[in-house]
């Protein structure tokens, strides 16, 4: 366990001036940008656009974190440091666990930043403490699931530009979701994809938590997506660590 | 055997060789083309699906005329960023130092890089325009308008590439470049090309009019609609000239320091 803590601390120290400030600035910048650029374009009914869009801002920050995770996993796999870790008397999954712990910390930081700036724009979680907790837990579950996927991708590719692989899926899932606009804003033929994909399900559930009335089917679908991603990519990520022994 | 000073080619010829080397490298490891073509194409399609219907309801005009220029410039920027990521690796591996030691004009490596960026941007803008036409855009301008439409992003990417070089050769890792990417791509989207100006708060209008990307995107939009945006082109040219004058010395100095450092491994 001390190896995991030491490796996590190493990552935190290395990212104090680069990735961690970005974890705060990105959701803040994205919320400001989307709120001004799209609030007059997208019709969200009676809900303010800040209230509507904040869940996807959080998810987008998680995706940005995943991009840096791809890079970090690839670097650990590629460099001498990664090879040296393989010779040490620590568990082969310790570096992976350390990276995941860092991702959760980064995700929590992004969530805090997004909620803080969201509050200034009028975002409220009106359901009480239980809903705040549920909002946080679901966000961190999705963070972990996505980070495992990113880690598996980074470890398997292990090139300097591994993170570029993640850009297109991220864009597809974030932009073509009900996170930025209601389903009716999209052309009819794309509705099935927009409605059922993971980002839509998770953002709808988060929006439900914020409003104090979550739809059960949304919540089940969100948890199922997280669990599915967790199982598939968790297995892959662990296998990638073992492969390089 | 008579040995004299080696024959030196012109700066232009040497720059062409460097540009060719970069283009070949990008073709073999296509991260940069992916970032400059695939990313903006994806962005164009997804963003059009997101706002197309809504913008049409608000303005009565197709949002593609603004989105195609926006995505073309965003693609040019992201391609330059991908090239910048590779550049810090070239510095660390000592490749920049090896190129610096070659018996060629000092400026040719940097000019070659700019030339390669220009060619890549020209190609990616053409691809994005074709995708836009596939989505329903109708280019109403003549051949001159088309040529200008393709060349405007080239002008912008030269300034941005210099900015990327100035940062990349000094940066410890690639994360710093993301700090450059966020305001740059936000500025592109915060122009009249993306949201209709009437949908934005009125206090933002002056800010929007005076940011550097506004005349650039606006000129491309007008060109595609068949007009000739003389004032926008002139303002855009003024912005890019100012950018080149301010950023060039920083990029050149940074490049020289990085090349003379010999790299991390040697």
Task: Give the pair of three-digit tokens for residue B265.
Answer: 């491994």
pLDDT at residue number B200: 73
CA neighbor of A63 nearest in space, from A234, A179, A157: A179
pLDDT at residue number B145: 92
For residue B7, pLDDT over 50 is answered with no
Distance CA B92, CA B112 (A): 20
Distance CA B109, CA B16 (A): 9
Cβ contact, residue pair A38, B51, below 8 Å: yes
Q: How far is CA A209 from CA A184, A213, B244, in A?
A: 22, 6, 50
* Non-local CB neighbours of B195 within 8 Å, separated by 6+ positions: A37, A38, A40, A41, B51, B55
Chain B neighbours among A 171-190 (CB < 8 Å)?
Answer: 171-172, 175-176, 180-181, 185-187, 190
Q: How far is CA A182 from CA A45, A175, A189, B49, in A?
A: 9, 11, 15, 12
pLDDT band at A36 (very low <50, low <70, confident <90, very high): confident
pLDDT, mean over chain A: 85
pLDDT at residue number B35: 73
The partner residue sitting opposite B39, judged by closest CB among A33, A167, A181, is: A167
Q: Compare all CA atoms of chain A with the CA of B36 and give the residue at the minimum distance.
A: A164
| B contacts of A38 (beta carbons < 8 Å) | 51, 195
Distance CA A238, CA A45 (A): 45
Closest CA–CA distance from residue A9 to any residue of chain B (Å): 19
Closest CA–CA distance from residue B5 to any residue of chain A (Å): 40
Sketch the domain layout of chain B as residue ranges.
Answer: 11-197+214-261
DSSP string, chain B: ----PPP---HHHHHHHHHHHHHHHHHHSTHHHIIIIIHHHHHHHHHHHHHHHHHHHHHSS-THHHHHHHHHHHHHHHHHHHHHHHHHHHHHHTHHHHHHTSSS-TTHHHHHHHHHHHHHHHHHHHHHHHHHHHHT----S-HHHHHHHHHHHHHHHHHHHHHHHHHHTT-SSTHHHHHHHHHHHHHHHTSTTSS-GGGS-GGGHHHHHHSTHHHHHHHHHHHHTT---HHHHHHHHHHHHHHHHHHHHHHHHHHHHHHHT--TT-
pLDDT at residue number A161: 61
pLDDT in tens, A175-216: 889 998 998 889 988 889 998 999 999 998 998 999 987 889
Cβ contact, residue pair B189, A164, below 8 Å: no
A36: domain range?
3-243
The partner residue sitting opposite B190, judged by closest CB among A33, A164, A167, is: A33
| A contacts of B175 (beta carbons < 8 Å) | 15, 18-19, 22, 68
pLDDT in tens, B42-95: 789 988 988 888 888 777 878 888 889 989 988 898 888 888 878 777 777 887
Please tell me whether residue A17 adopts helix, strand or coil conformation: coil
| B contacts of A19 (beta carbons < 8 Å) | 175
pLDDT, mean over chain B: 82
Q: How many C-beta atoms lie closer than 10 Å to residue B12's C-beta?
A: 12
Distance CA A168, CA B34 (A): 10
Closest CA–CA distance from residue B68 to any residue of chain A (Å): 17
Find the mean pLDDT for residues A77-86. Answer: 71
For residue A69, pLDDT over 70 is answered with yes
pLDDT at residue number A245: 44
Residues of B with CB under 8 A from a CB of A: 29, 31, 34-35, 38-39, 42-43, 46-47, 49-55, 58, 82, 85-86, 89, 172-176, 178-179, 182, 186, 189-190, 194-196, 198-201, 204
Distance CA A238, CA A99 (A): 12
For residue B31, pLDDT over 90 is answered with no
* Non-local CB neighbours of B154 within 8 Å, separated by 6+ positions: B76, B118, B121, B122, B125
| B contacts of A68 (beta carbons < 8 Å) | 175
Distance CA B100, CA B107 (A): 10
Residue with tokens 């926008």: B232
CA dihedral for B75, B81, B83, B86, sign (positive or negative): negative
Q: Could you report how far apart the first and last alpha carbons of chain A are, in Å?
A: 19
Cβ(A110)–Cβ(A189) below 8 Å? no
Q: Which DSSP category does A212 fall into?
A: T
Closest CA–CA distance from residue B93 to any residue of chain A (Å): 12
pLDDT at residue number B63: 86
User: Mutate which of B51, B52, B71, B87 to test chain A, going by most A C-beta atoms within 10 A?
Assistant: B51
Chain B neighbours among A 133-162 (CB < 8 Å)?
Answer: 160-161
User: Mutate which of A31, A37, A176 to test chain B, going by most B C-beta atoms within 10 A?
Assistant: A37
Q: Angle A221-A215-A111 (CA atoms, 0-180°, nearest 5)? A: 75
Q: Compare all CA atoms of chain A with the CA of B193 and give the residue at the minimum distance.
A: A37
Distance CA B26, CA B247 (A): 25
Q: What percent of chain B has pLDDT over 70?
A: 88
Closest CA–CA distance from residue B200 to any residue of chain A (Å): 6
The number of residues making up chain B comes to 266
pLDDT in tens, A85-116: 777 777 778 888 898 889 998 899 899 899 99
CA neighbor of B60 nearest in space, from B198, B229, B201: B198
Cβ(B219)–Cβ(B232) below 8 Å? yes
For residue A159, pLDDT over 70 is answered with no
Closest CA–CA distance from residue A186 to any residue of chain B (Å): 6
Report yes or no: A19 at the B interface, CB cutoff 8 Å: yes
pLDDT in tens, B170-200: 776 666 777 777 778 777 777 666 667 667 7
For residue B4, pLDDT over 80 is answered with no
Q: Compare all CA atoms of chain A with the CA of B183 and give the residue at the minimum distance.
A: A29
Least confident segment among A44-53, B29-38, B103-112: B29-38
Find the mean pLDDT for residues B204-208. Answer: 73
Cβ contact, residue pair B175, A18, below 8 Å: yes
Cβ(B112)–Cβ(B14) below 8 Å? yes
pLDDT in tens, B221-239: 899 989 988 988 888 989 8
pLDDT band at B265 (very low <50, low <70, confident <90, very high): very low
* Non-local CB neighbours of A80 within 8 Å, separated by 6+ positions: none
Which stretch of DSSP H or E encloses residue A55?
helix A49-78
Cβ contact, residue pair B200, A167, below 8 Å: no
Report yes or no: A104 at the B interface, CB cutoff 8 Å: no
Q: Which residues of B138-167 are buried (b: 16+ CB within 10 A; e: fewer)?
A: ebebeeebeebbbebbbbbbbbbbbbbbbb
Distance CA B26, CA A187 (A): 36
Regarding predicted confidence, which is higher, B136 or B191? B136
pLDDT at residue number B209: 64
Which stretch of DSSP H or E encloses residue A233?
helix A216-243
pLDDT in tens, A6-35: 888 878 878 876 788 889 888 998 888 888
| Domain count for chain A | 1
């Amino acid at each position: 366990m001390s190896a995991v803590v030491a490796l996590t601390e190493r990552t935190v120290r290395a990212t104090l001036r680069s990735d961690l400030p970005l974890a705060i600035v990105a959701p803040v910048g994205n919320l400001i940008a989307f709120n001004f650029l799209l609030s007059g374009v997208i019709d969200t009914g009676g809900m303010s656009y800040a209230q509507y869009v904040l869940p996807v801002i959080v998810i987008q920050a998680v995706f940005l974190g995943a991009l840096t995770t791809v890079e970090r996993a690839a670097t650990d796999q590629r460099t001498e440091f990664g090879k040296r870790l393989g010779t040490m008397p620590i568990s082969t999954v310790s570096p992976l666990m350390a990276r995941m712990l860092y991702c959760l910390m980064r995700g929590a930081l992004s969530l805090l930043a997004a909620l803080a700036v969201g509050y200034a724009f009028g975002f409220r979680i009106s359901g009480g403490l239980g809903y705040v907790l549920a909002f946080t837990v679901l966000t961190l579950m999705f963070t972990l699931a996505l980070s495992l996927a990113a880690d598996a991708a980074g470890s398997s590719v292990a090139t300097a530009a591994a993170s570029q692989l993640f850009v297109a899926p991220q864009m597809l899932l974030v932009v073509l979701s009900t996170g930025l606009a209601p389903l009716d804003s999209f052309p009819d033929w794309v509705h099935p994809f927009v409605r059922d994909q993971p980002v839509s399900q998770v953002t709808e559930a988060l929006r439900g938590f914020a409003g104090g009335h979550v739809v059960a089917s949304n919540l089940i679908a969100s948890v199922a997506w997280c669990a599915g991603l967790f199982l598939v990519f968790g297995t892959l990520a662990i296998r990638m660590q073992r492969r390089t022994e | 055997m008579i040995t004299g000073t080696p024959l030196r080619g012109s700066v232009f010829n040497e720059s062409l060789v460097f540009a060719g080397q970069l283009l070949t490298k990008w073709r073999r490891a296509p991260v940069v083309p992916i970032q400059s073509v695939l990313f903006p194409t994806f962005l164009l399609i997804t963003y059009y699906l997101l706002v197309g219907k809504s913008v049409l309801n608000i303005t009565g005009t197709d949002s593609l005329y603004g989105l195609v220029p926006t995505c073309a410039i965003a693609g040019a920027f992201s391609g330059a960023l991908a090239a910048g990521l590779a550049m810090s690796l070239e510095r660390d591996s000592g490749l920049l130092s090896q190129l610096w030691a070659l018996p060629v004009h000092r400026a040719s490596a940097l000019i070659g890089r700019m030339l390669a960026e220009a060619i890549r941007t020209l190609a990616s803008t053409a691809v994005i325009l074709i995708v836009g036409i596939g989505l329903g855009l109708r280019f109403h301008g003549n051949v001159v308008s088309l040529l200008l439409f393709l060349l405007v992003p080239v002008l912008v990417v030269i300034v941005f590439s210099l900015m990327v070089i100035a940062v990349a050769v000094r940066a410890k890792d690639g994360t710093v470049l993301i700090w450059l990417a966020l305001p740059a791509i936000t500025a592109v989207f915060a122009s009249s090309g993306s949201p209709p100006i009437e949908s934005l708060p009125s206090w933002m209008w002056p800010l929007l009019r005076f940011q550097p990307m506004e005349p650039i995107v606006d000129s491309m939009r007008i060109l595609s609609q068949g007009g000739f945006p003389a004032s926008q082109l002139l303002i855009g040219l003024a912005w890019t000239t100012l950018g080149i004058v301010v950023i060039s010395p920083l990029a050149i100095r940074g490049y020289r320091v990085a090349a003379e450092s010999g790299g991390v491994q040697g």
